[in-house]
């Protein structure tokens, strides 16, 4: 096996490691990111709906807003349970953060900045493809 073959083999393994670790960590992080976005959406919707609709429409719209608020509240509770255990940060979450950081450092050391950027880009492209594919089938 020549040096290029060895580097390619390492790169594929690093890609696999990065993908699996990042995916596991994203299961935690995405819920918190979604909460921030959901809160922003709720604020925009509330601002848009204030005083702009007829009285007979307001009750139904307020119910939709209240349902969305309840959804956000439930999501927040679920997030906190996922991330925290007995008032401590979930050890799996801490481990995954540290593992991902270690993987990135080693990729930088072994393959360089360009390879790390490529691996991150490949991961992001796959996640976007999954989202697009999952919404197509619905």
pLDDT for res 87: 63
- Answer whether residue 123 shows pLDDT above 80: yes
Please give the full DSSP string across 32-66, using - where no structure is assigned.
Answer: HHHHHHHHHHHHHHHHHHTTTS-HHHHHHHHHHHH
- Answer whether residue 132 shows pLDDT above 80: yes
Mean pLDDT in residue range 33-43: 93
pLDDT bucket at 137, cuts 50 / 70 / 90 = low
pLDDT for res 48: 82
Beta bridge partners of 89: 84
Mean pLDDT in residue range 25-47: 89
> Tens digits of per-residue pLDDT, 63-95?
888 999 999 999 988 887 777 766 667 788 889
Tell me if residue 89 falls in helix, strand or coil. Answer: strand
Between 127 and 32, residue with greater pLDDT: 127
Between 134 and 88, residue with greater pLDDT: 134
Which residue from 1, 37, 38, 7 is spatially nearest to 118, judged by alpha carbons? 7
- What CA dihedral angle connects 60, 61, 62 and 67, to 10 degrees? 90
Retrieve residue 42's tokens.
Answer: 């709720």
Mean pLDDT in residue range 41-56: 81
């Amino acid at each position: 096996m020549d040096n290029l073959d060895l580097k390619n083999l390492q790169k594929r393994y690093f890609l696999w490691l990065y993908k699996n670790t990042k995916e596991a960590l994203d299961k935690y992080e995405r819920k918190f990111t979604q909460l921030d976005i959901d809160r922003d959406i709720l604020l925009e919707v509330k601002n848009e709906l204030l005083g702009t609709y007829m009285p007979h429409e307001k009750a139904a719209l307020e119910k939709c807003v209240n349902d969305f608020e309840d959804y956000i509240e439930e999501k927040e509770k679920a997030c906190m349970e996922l991330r925290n255990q007995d008032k401590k940060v979930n050890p799996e979450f801490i481990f995954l953060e540290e593992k991902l950081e270690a993987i990135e450092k080693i990729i930088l050391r072994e393959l360089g900045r360009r390879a790390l950027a490529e691996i991150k880009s490949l991961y992001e492209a796959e996640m976007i493809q999954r989202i697009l594919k999952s919404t197509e089938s619905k």
